[in-house]
Every structure is written in structure tokens, then in C-alpha cells.
Structure 1
Amino acid sequence: MRYWTNELWRLGYLAGGFSLIGGLLGYLGWGLALGLSLYLFVHLKHLKSLYTWLITNPHEEPPPGDGVWGDLLDRLYRYQKGQRQAQERLRSILNRIQESSEAMRDGLVMLDNHGDMEWWNSAAEQLVGLKASHDRGQHITNYLRDPVFIDYFNRLAYREPLTLQSPLSDNLTLQISITLFGDNERLVMLRDVTRLYRLEEMRRDFVANVSHELRTPLTVLAGYLETYSDYADDLPPRWQRGLGQMQSQTDRMQHLVEDLLTLSRLETDELSDNGRCIDMSALLGHIRDDAEGLSQGRHTFSIEADASLSLRGEEQELRSAISNLVFNAVRYTPEDCHITLRWKADDQGLLVEVEDDGDGIDPVHLPRLTERFYRIDKGRSTATGGTGLGLAIVKHVLIRHQGHLEIDSHPGEGARFRCHFPDERACQASAPQASSALAQ
């Protein structure tokens, strides 16, 4: 404000002084015009200096000036200095980020909002063979052409990471995670999980082989125990009790082996893309009937199903998954509880829901419920005949059908298990298929 006041005084001095001189000489108007012209000339001179500085060397110090121009140029200099310092700080941060990214063993690839590759670290070059000379600006699906990755990339559902072989070598297994940020931009993380993948394969092979080898001796034991049980009345009471315990534990071991074999098959076999169109309303009816037999009148059941909706998939697998959820509700809820089975469409696609009004589950257990052999109450699970594999089977069945499981429960508020399927799994069941489902 002070500079503007001084500038007004300067204008007044020039205009008044030249007007006075012009008036004394008899040219008042010319004197005023000369004073204003001189004032304008000074401003144009400063403006030219500023323009020349901005065009030729804006990174150098601004030219000197006086009055309001001096204040303006001084403020520009301070702003320029602050911007330069901010740029140096940002450059230093970016350098540290790049150095830390280069030190990572995991590959990082930054994509723009079109999916074109903008930047990557050296680990990405080693894992997938990217070259800055010709790959920068290319769309990532032009380089990672696996149909599984293309489908994963386009669906924008990055809840779970994707595991696939590196384009460099079939012996290199990568885990790919994608994170959305900014204006639909993406950060792709590539991790070498070859060792973990091989260990997982060894574990699966071991479990499958051991389960298969146990199947035969258990079948023999069950057969002999069933034969001996026909003559149980002729045995002493102590032997009768031991025979009953052996039968119970043999049945439990057989169920465990069957569940392990089912898990191994789900992990190794590939699901057909087509499958069959399943009448889910009829399927839920069959599962409800089985659950009523297990409950023996201790629970009540209801079905809320949209008969116009059908699901494409493997019926036996889906029946196993949904049955596990319903049977768990029967086993782990008190008597007189109500269990509801739902089949409908929602904002995420298609939904199968199993809800009960039992004791509920502490939320601390929910993230681990789908782990193998995880039990909230080991004593209760053993007493009810659970193997700890039911929800793991549910999880793998849903993954094979491009779905996912959501669990919502709190103590005293019951539990709700939601099986979400994408809209692409919807289909129109024909009459023969519907009737065959009812006949099973």
C-alpha cells in the first residue's frame, strides 16, 4: 500500500510540475501531457525490462527497479527463490523415492490413467524384462499378454493379488498386485514368489498323497468296525465302548481325508469356463432339506430366492460350499434359532446369503475363519464333528467361480455369510436343466 501511495505522489509531482512549467510558458495542456508521457515512459521501460527478463533468463535474478516496480520485482525474486527451494526439496524427495525403489527386490511399474507404462524400477526389468528404450509408453497388456492378467486388469477388482508365470521364464512365478490412485492411475507391484509357490506345490502334493494313502486303510478299518459292530451285543461292555469310540474316530478321520482331497482337487483342477446353468432356487431347497435332517427339528429354516435368476457353474462344488455354510449354522447355533437362505441380485452382482440369529462371532476371528483347521472353539468343533476345513472349501469354490466371501457377525447378533458372484455368471436356465436339478 505504501508503494502505491508513493507512486501516486510521483504521478502528482510529475503532472503538477510540468503543468506549472507549461502554464508559465502558456502551454498548460502540453506541459501536463509531457509529464504524463514521461511517467508512462518510465513504466514502459520497466515493463520492457520485466518482459526481456521473463523471455531470456527467467532463472536469473530479476532486473532492478524503483517504486512500485521495485517492490513487484523484489516480490518476484522472493517467490522465485521460494519456488526454487521447493523444487529442490521435491527433487530430493523424488531422488530418495527412486533410490529406495531401486533398492527394492519387488518390481514397481507406474501406469497412467490409460494403462500405459510411465516408470518402473530395475527389479521390474529383471522380473518381466522391461526396457526403457522401447517399452516406455506402451500399454501394459501389450507386454503382459496372459489372458488371466488381462481379465484381472480390466475388471478393476484388485482385492486379491494375481499369481502367474513371468513372460521371461516359465520357471519364474510372480505375484502381481495393483493399486488404484489419483485419476484412475495404477501402481503395479511384482513379487518373485517362485520359492513360496514351489513350497505350496510341495505342500499340496504332500497333503493330497497322504490323504490318498490314508483313504485305503481307513476304508479297511471302517469295514471291519462295521462288521464287528454287528456282534457288539456279544462283547463285554468295555469292548463295546471302545468299539463305539473307534467307529466315531474312524468316521471323523474319513471326513477329514475327504475334505483334504476336496481341497486338493479345488486347488489343482481347472474350472470349465462354461459349466452349466444351475437353478439356484431348487438347489437351495435341496440344501434346506439336508439341513433339516441334520437339525432334527432343533432349528427353523426359510428360503428367500429369486426364481428368475440362475447361476452358471459347477453344481456339485456350489452345493458343497453352500451346504458347508448352512451345516455350520446348524452345528454352531443353539436350538430354536432361525436360519435363512437367500438368493438374489445386489449392487455387486449375484448373491447367496446364509443368515442365522444365533450367538454370533467375535469380529477378531473373522479374518481367519477361512484358514485351514482354524477353529474358534476347538472343543466345540471336535464335539460337533467339524474338521476346520469347511470355510476353506467355501473360499476356494468361490474363487473358482470368480466370487468372494464376506462375513458379518457380532456377538449376540447372529452371523451373515455372503457369497458374491459377478454378473457374468448369470444365465437363463432352460426347462430340462431346471427339472433335472429338482430331480437330484
Structure 2
Amino acid sequence: MQGIQTEIWRALGITLFSFLFGLSIGYPYICVIIGGVIYLIWTLRTIYRTFHWIEAGLKNPAPYNSGVWGDLANALARQKRRDLRRKKRLQEAVKRMSSLIAALDQGILVLNRELGIDIWNNSAKHLLGLKSSDRGTAIINLIRQPEFIDYMQKQDFSDALEMPSPLHKGMYLSVHAANFGKKEIVLVFSDITRVRNLDQLRREFVGNVSHELRTPLTVLQGYIETLQNIQKSDNPMVGRAFSQMEQQIKRMRAISDDLILLSKLETENELVQTDPIPLLPVLKQIANEAKQLSEGLHNVTLDCSDTLKLSIKANDLHSAIGNIVFNAVQHNPQGCDIRISAHHYGRQLVINIEDNGIGIPEEALPRITERFYRADSSRNSQTGGSGLGMAIVKHLLNRYDGELSISSSAGRGAKFSCKFPVHK
């Protein structure tokens, strides 16, 4: 506002001076016009100098520091100073971020919308063997593993990908991906060789120990059965001791067998492709075995069409569904209704196992498929559960690209849904 007022007073002053000077010589209006032309020429010169100063990047001092154009020049100068401070802060933030990314152990890779490599850090250079000439090259032309190409083409980044290193033999990488910006993709490569080797060592250890336990447990069970037959005593404590020893040995053998199976499933984690088999005979067998285990305390029903088929091994299907059904029997010793049903739902075949028993606490549901996890350890001890059954179910479903969902709450029964994809 100050500049506008200054400019108004300046224009009035020139007009008044021109008019008075014109009166003195007898040509007042001509002098006013001449004064206006001079003021216009001066204004145009100021505009020219101001725009020239702007185009030069506002590097030199403002050409004029009073009036409207002075205010404009000062405002632009202040804005430039603010922009320079903002630019400096941004450069410092970018520099810190670049230093942080460069210091990470994970390899960071940024791809453009055509999957061409745009930016990478030192870890990515080491893990993938990148060179400056690789900039702009499509990532699938440098990393040729089929699983990685499929991962990038599908662009379903909900899960991480594990794959062998394309450069270092014996190294395994985990790849996380996410979309950002204008259809760009960021990839994070992590070296999981040590974790994978430790996991493999654990599996082998569990499998070997379980195998080694089989022989001594078999020997012990044989001797106990022999001693039960030859040792006759009126002392009820002796018979009870032999009975408990036999029960615990059987339980240890069951745990050993489950550990061996679980170790095998974890080792052979590739998807299995088999010919379709009818569901009804396997589910009937499971229902009959559940009725025998129930001893009349549970009402087991089956709803399955004889036309339903699924690409799965019969033993794997029996083990997966059987574990859930037998758990429903064992964990509801007071009795309950158990319903087994199978049906198509879209492009999935779903097998449901529902009961109206004691249910599972909601806080236990996320961990129910962990090995050795027990939602109720006292009840499991009574029923002889190993805590491995649901872990086996989970791994069996993974072998066939299936999915397990569980819904339950304490006192309201439980529902287990085994969902298998149907490939038509």
C-alpha cells in the first residue's frame, strides 16, 4: 500500500508541476501532456529494468526501491530468500535421506513405470551386481529367475518373495515391493541366507531327533507291555503306574510322528499338483473315525455332494481335515454337534468344520496355528494334544495353495474353513 500511495503522490506532483510550469509560459495543458509522457517513459523503463532483473535470476540488487515497482522488487527478493532457505533445507533433507539409504544393509531399488531401473543404493549394487550402464534397463532383463519375473509381472506385492541370488551362489534374497509416486515401484532386497540356513538347520534337527526317538520309544513301549503281562500285583499303584507310562509313551510317539510330518511339510513346501479325487469318500472316513473316537458323546454330520472333486492327495486331505475334526472331538469331552460340509464358492472349494462346543478364546485365534501353542494347556494335557495339529493343517493347506480361516469365541463353538482354489 505504501508503494501505491508513493506512486499516486508522484503522479500528482508531476501533474501539478507541469500545470504550474505551463501556466507560467502560457501552455498549461501541453505541459501536463508532456509531463505525463515523461512519467510514462520513466515507468516503462522501470518495468523493463525490473523484468530484466527478474530474468537474470534476481541476483543483483533491485533496480528500483520505491513506489509500486520498488515494492514488487522487494517482495520478489524476499520470496527468493525464502525459496533459497527452503531449497537449502530440502537439499539437507535429501542428503540425509540419501546417506541413510546408502547406509542400509538392504538393497533399495526404484523402478519407473516401464520397470526400468532408476535409482539404487550401494547395498543393491553389491547384492545384484548393478553398473551405471544398467540405469534405465528393465529389471526383468537383469534378474532372470522365473519366480521374480512372475512376481513383477503380476504386481501383487502383498507378500514378500524369496529367491536365490542372481549373483552370489548359495545366497538367498527376500524381495519386498511397493507402488508409489506415478506408477513407480520400490524394491527392497534383504539377505536372508543366515536366517534360511538356521531355519533349515532347525528343521533337520527336529526331523533327526524325532527319527532317533522312534526306536527307544518303541523299545520302551514293548517292555512296558511285556511287564504288564508278566507282572501281576495286588497293589493298584503298580497297574496305574504301568498304565500311565504306556499312555505317556504313546503320547511321545504321537508328538514324534507329528514333528517328523511337520518337518517334512516345511522342507517340501512347493505347490503340489495332483489329479482330482472325490471328496465324499475321504470325508466319510473322517466322520466315521470321529464317531468312533467320540464313543457316542458327539453328533457328527456330513454334507458333501458326491460330485465334488479336489486336486489333492487323499492322505493329505485326511490329515488336514481329520486333525480339525478330531480336535473338535477331543477338546469338547462333554460332547457337542460337529458338522462337516463342502461346497463351491466362486473359484474356491470350501470345506467347513463347525461345532457348538466350548470354542476358542478370541485372543488365541492369531496363534492357533503356531507349533506347540495351546489355547488351554490344562485341557490339552488331559486330551493328549501335542500342539502340532493345527500347524500341520496350515502347512498342508499351503502345499495346495489353500487358506485356513478360523472364527470362534469362548463358549460359542468354532468354525474352521479350509479354502482351496479350483483351477478350471
Q: Per-residue deviation at 1:259?
A: 1.0
Query: C-alpha separation between the residues in 1 aligned to 2:46 and 2:90?
Result: 33
Q: Is the 8 A contact 1:225 1:243 kept in 2?
A: yes
Q: Which residue of 1 aligns with 2:211?
A: 212
Contact 1:340 1:354 in 2 (8 A): yes
Alignment of 1:237-276 (within 5 A): 237-269=236-268, 271=270, 274-276=273-275
Distance in 2 separating the partners of 1:130 and 1:279: 51
Kindly provide the amino acid, as one letter, of the partner of residue 392 in structure 1. A
Shift of 1:216: 3.4
In 2, Cα distance between the equivalents of 1:210 and 1:190? Answer: 34
> Relative to structure 1, is the Cα distance of residues 65 and 198 closer, same or farther in structure 2, using a 3 angstrom cutoff?
same
Q: Deviation of residue 164 (structure 1)?
A: 2.3
Q: Is the 8 A contact 1:338 1:356 kept in 2?
A: yes
Query: What residue in structure 1 maps to residue 57 of structure 2?
Result: 57
> 1:414-435, CA deviations, whole angstroms, 9 ceiling, x for partnerless residues?
44445455xxx3135xxxxxxx
Q: Distance in 2 between matches of 1:281 and 1:74?
A: 86
How big is the shift at 1:111?
3.1
Gap change, CA 1:208 and 1:312, over 3 Å in 2: same
Gaps in structure 2 of 5+ consecutive residues: none
Secondary structure in 1 aligned to 2:109? strand
Q: Which residue of 2 aligns with 1:325?
A: 324
Contact 2:53 2:62 in 1 (8 A): yes
Match of 2:202 in 1: 203
Q: TM-score, normalised by structure 1?
A: 0.78
Q: What are the equivalent positions in structure 2 for 1:137-176 lying under 5 Å apart?
A: 137-176=136-175
Q: Is contact 1:276-1:315 (8 Å) kept? A: no
Instruction: Tell me the amino acid that sits aligned with residue 120 of structure 2.
Output: W
Matching residue's letter, 1:108 = I
* Post-superposition CA distance 1:23-82 (Å, at most 9, x none): 974967x966x6665565455434433443444335666553542222222222222222
Match of 1:392 in 2: 391
**Offset of 1:262 from its aligned partner?**
1.0
**Residue 82 of structure 2 is aligned to residue 86 of structure 1:** no
Quick one: distance in 1 between partners of 2:307 and 2:29? Answer: 99
* 1:207 CA drift (Å): 1.5
Q: Distance in 2 between matches of 1:354 and 1:43?
A: 89
Who is 1:95 aligned against?
95
Offset, 1:266: 1.0
| Aligned equivalent of 1:105 | 105
Contact 1:281 1:343 in 2 (8 A): no
- Contact kept in structure 2, 1:232 and 1:240, CA below 8 Å: no
CA contact (8 A) 2:402 2:418 kept: yes
CA distance in 2, matches of 1:346, 1:74: 71
Describe how 1:380-419 pairs up with structure 2 within 5 A.
380-419=379-418
Residue in 2 aligned with 1:426?
422
Deviations 1:112-142 (A, max 9, x none): 44433322221222222222x1222333332
Distance 1:271 1:17, change over 3 A: same
| Residues 246 and 325 of structure 1: CA distance in aligned 2, closer, same or farther (over 3 Å) | same
Q: How far off is 1:217 after superposition?
A: 3.7
Three-state SS of the structure 2 residue aligned to 1:427 is coil
Aligned positions, number? 421
Residues 158, 323 of structure 1: alpha-carbon distance in 2 compared, 3 angstrom cutoff:
farther
- Which whole-Å CA distance do the structure 2 matches of 1:14 and 1:345 have between them? 93
Conserved 8 A contact 1:372-1:388: yes
Whichever of the two has the greater Rg, that structure is 2
CA offset at residue 277 of structure 1? 2.9
Could you tell me how far apart the structure 2 residues matched to 1:299 and 1:110 are? 58
2:423 aligned partner, one-letter code: C
Q: Do the aligned partners of 1:309 and 1:427 also contact (CA within 8 Å) in 2?
A: no
- Whole-angstrom distance in 2 between the partners of 1:293 and 1:170: 53
Give the aligned residue type for 1:369: I
* Code of the aligned partner of 2:105: R
Measure, in 2, the Cα distance between the counterparts of 1:6 and 1:199.
81
Q: How does 1:113-128 map to 2 (within 5 A)?
A: 113-128=113-128
- The alignment partner of 1:381 has SS state of helix
Whether the 8 Å CA contact 1:108–1:187 is kept in 2: the answer is yes
Tell me how far apart the structure 1 counterparts of residues 47 and 349 of structure 2 sit (CA, whole Å). 68
The answer to whether the 8 Å contact 2:108/2:124 transfers is yes
CA distance, structure 1, for counterparts of residue 12 and residue 277 of structure 2 = 93
**Contact 1:356 / 1:416 at 8 angstroms: preserved in 2?**
yes
Aligned-partner residue type, residue 123 of structure 1? S
| Paired amino acid for 1:276 | D
Give per-residue Cα distances to partners, 1:174-232, cap 9 Å, x unaligned: 23333444455433222222222222222211211222222234344445656666x48
Distance 2:50 2:57 in 1: 10
Amino acid aligned to 1:77: A
Q: Structure 1: where are the runs of 5+ without partners?
A: 429-440
Distance 1:200 1:285, change over 3 A: same
Hey, what does 1:437 align to over in structure 2?
A: none
Query: If the length of structure 2 is used for normalisation, what is the TM-score?
Result: 0.80
